[in-house]
Structures are given as C-alpha cells and as structure tokens.
Chain A
Amino acid sequence: MLKQTPSQTVGPYFAYGLTPEQYLYDYKSLAQNDLVTSDEEHIVILGRVFDGEENVIPDAMLEIWDNQNNLFGRFGTGTEKDKSFVFKTKKPLSMEGNAPFLSVILFMRGQLIHSYTRIYFSDEVKNATDEVLSRIDNARRETLIAQKKENYYLFDIYMQGDKETVFFDI
C-alpha cells in the first residue's frame, strides 16, 4: 500500500485561493455559501467558531456537504461583522430513518488536520432515535444540534472546553 500524503494546516492565508469572491479578491470562487436559487425553499444556518478561551476564531473555513441534495458549500469566518459563518441551503432529508444532518469539514490555522462534525436540527423528532446521536453522551449530544431560531438555525462550534463540539473520526 502507498503511504497517505500527510495533512498540513490550511494556515491564515487561504482566503484568496479558496474563498476569493467572499473576501473580495479578483478571482473566481468554485464554491459559495448560498446554495439555493432565490425562490427555493431553504434554511439559513449561522454560527461562530470558538477556541479554548472562548475567543471567536476569525480565520476558520467551513465546508458543508449534503449528499442527498448534492450541495456543497464553503465559507470563511473572516468577513461577517461578528466573524460568523452563514449558509443558505436546503434542509437535508432523512436517510434510512435517521435524523437529517449536514456533514461539516472544518479547517483553520492551528489545526494540522481538518475536523469533521455534523449539523443536526433541533426541530427534528428523529433526533431521539438517530443511530449516531443516540450513541453520544447526553451532555455532548447537544453540541451537534443546531438550535432553531425565528428564521435561522444557530450552530456554534467550540474547539475545546465544557462545550467542546463532538468531532468525528470518519
């Protein structure tokens, strides 16, 4: 077997390469955060990424993947006023009776290898019986569930501490 190529950090300077239009560089973005056409039914997910001292991380990049709707999004946390990420996408569908979720890949300076997590949704009854959620301790399960607010879902990510988000080994 060949040896895997080792991972290295995305570093602080990814914006003009990976999210150029979002950061107003004169180069074409291959992925964005608005994954729906304007009249389509959609949801908005937003949140921030926090380090071990609960500082907001202003140079992270999130990718979301929804295999059933074949939607891929990417957004950096450096352009919104409060350093949040925002995605406008379709609500994912339930697979095999489990709760619907989005896959998340998270990159940042200070991460030598990316992290995987999932976004579940607080208004889904299937969360209670979901195969993955039910295997996670009560105390940490909530970190995977985006909270429904008036017109968006809130999903904050904590890298460390009491509220540390569950990250997956996939």
Chain B
Amino acid sequence: MSQSTYNPFDMEVHPPRLYPAYKSTVLRAPTQPLVLLKQSLAELSGPVFGDYNLGEFDHDLTKNSIKNGEPLGERIVVHGTVFNENGQPIPHTLIEIWQANSCGRYVHKVDQHDAPLDPNFLGAGHCMTDANGNYKFYTIKPGAYPWGNHYNAWRPNHIHFSLFGVNITNRLVTQMYFPGDPLLEHDPIFLAVPPKGRDLLISKFDLGATEPDFALGYRFDFVLRGHSATPFEKL
C-alpha cells in the first residue's frame, strides 16, 4: 500500500521567509527552524468549494460591482491552467483574486494612496477551475501604486491570487505580474523570489486569448506542489 506524500516547497523558486529589503519581514518572519511534520490525513485533505457558491459574474470584475456605468481602464482577460508539479491539471479548485483599480487604488479602507476610487470597480473575484483545470477572469489592468517600504517605492502592476489545490499542502497565495514592467527590477517583494522563480510570476501576453474589439489576453499558469506515490521511495 502506498500513500502519496506531497513534495516540499521548492526553495529554489520560493522566496525566503526573511528578506530584509522587504522591511515588514524583519519582525514577522519566523526565526526558528520549521519543525518537519509527517503528512497526516489533516495535511492530505483540504476544503472543497462547490460551484454553488459562485454568482454569474464572480469571475468578471468588469461587471461584478457595477453601480452606474462601466469601470474605467484597460479591459483584460487573464486565463490559464492549474497544474501540479507532475503536470496533471487540477479540476474544480477555487481561485480567488483581488487587485487595485486602473489608477492603482485599492478599495481597502487602509489604502490611503491619493488616487481615485472607481465606483464601478471593487477589484475582487473568484472562480473554480473547470474539469481540465482551466480558469478565466475578466478584469481591468491594475495600476502601479506607491508603498512605504523605502523612498519612492512603487509596486509593479499585479493581481493577487489565492489557490487551494487538492489539500492544505497545496495552498498558495501569490501575485501575477505583467510582461515588460520596468518596476519589477526595483520591487523587493518580486526580487525576494530567487532568480530561477521570477519568470514564473510574469504572465504572458496571449494574442489567442485577446478578444477582438474588447480585451487584451494574458496567460498565467499555476503549478502547485505535486506528489510522489512510489511505495518504496529512496531517501
């Protein structure tokens, strides 16, 4: 009998816990070594979200909070596939996103950036991957915004993503960036990712997904931790 165990986080691509250039890590990153835990049924399971939770426009941020008109900014399609490391697509898994509006302003009450809110744009959405692990969102391209990390610090354009995968070892919260953004090379949050991992966070312009007279397409695939099911695995 074999029980799958899920591969660890690949620290060749994940950021370290402490990255002093991103100042908030200094007092918030755990300092003790993590305690290795043998994966039990608790780790090899996770919440399952049904489609019944979803409203018609939950995946369409250009429509899901319209009050008196269309949101301002450049409409985009963001789509892709969620895989595990073994290359198997992950169907019916929840993806949640949140982002700034086209001016770089978040709806969040603590965002004090002096840029306009858009009454017709909330900036939050979610969807489930389909039977083949594919997802698609419609949204507005988020603007860059300043933050307090250091003098003249600006976050590159990005969309925040939250994924569940098949169990809690798969949990992933990340940010998707856009190709050619000149702010990437100045952003400590992006640069905390080791060089091998950085390209994996940059979406690709996708002419095939671009909808004529409507929206530019970007492709962004996810890879969650995979498993080895070999019964007598060599250490």
Report which A residues bind B (CB closer than 8 A).
1-18, 20, 23, 25-28, 30-31, 51-53, 55, 57, 59, 63, 65, 67, 70, 72, 95-96, 101, 103, 105, 107-116, 132, 135-136, 140, 159-160, 164-170
Contacts and interface: CB of A to CB of B under 8 A. Distances in A.
A98 B40 CA distance: 11
Interface residues of B, number: 81
B174 A7 contact: yes
Question: Does more than half of chain A's interface fall in helix, strand or loop, or is it mixed?
Answer: loop
A57 B27 CA distance: 10
Chain A to chain B: the 5 pairs with minimum beta-carbon distance, closest first: A17-B98, A110-B24, A110-B28, A72-B47, A169-B34
A10 B173 contact: yes
Interface in B90-137: 94, 96-98, 100, 106-111, 122-124, 126
30 contacts: A1-B86, A1-B87, A1-B226, A3-B223, A6-B193, A8-B190, A12-B110, A12-B111, A13-B111, A16-B124, A17-B123, A18-B98, A25-B124, A28-B55, A57-B28, A59-B110, A65-B46, A65-B47, A67-B41, A67-B42, A95-B42, A101-B42, A110-B24, A111-B17, A111-B28, A112-B17, A160-B27, A164-B30, A167-B35, A168-B37
A4 B9 contact: yes
A116 B106 CA distance: 28
B186 interface: no
A7 B15 contact: yes
Contacts of A105: 168, 171
Question: Does more than half of chain B's interface fall in helix, strand or loop, or is it mixed?
Answer: loop
Interface of B: 6, 8-10, 12-17, 19, 22, 24-32, 34-37, 39-43, 45-47, 49, 53, 55, 65, 83-87, 94, 96-98, 100, 106-111, 122-124, 126, 160, 162, 168-169, 171-175, 189-190, 192-193, 196-198, 200-201, 221-226
Given A52-B28, A113-B15, A114-B171, A6 B200 contact: yes
Most buried by B among A63, A113, A166: A113
Contacts of B22: 9, 110, 112
A112 B35 contact: no
B10 A112 contact: no
Given A30-B49, A72-B47, A110-B25, A11 B32 contact: no
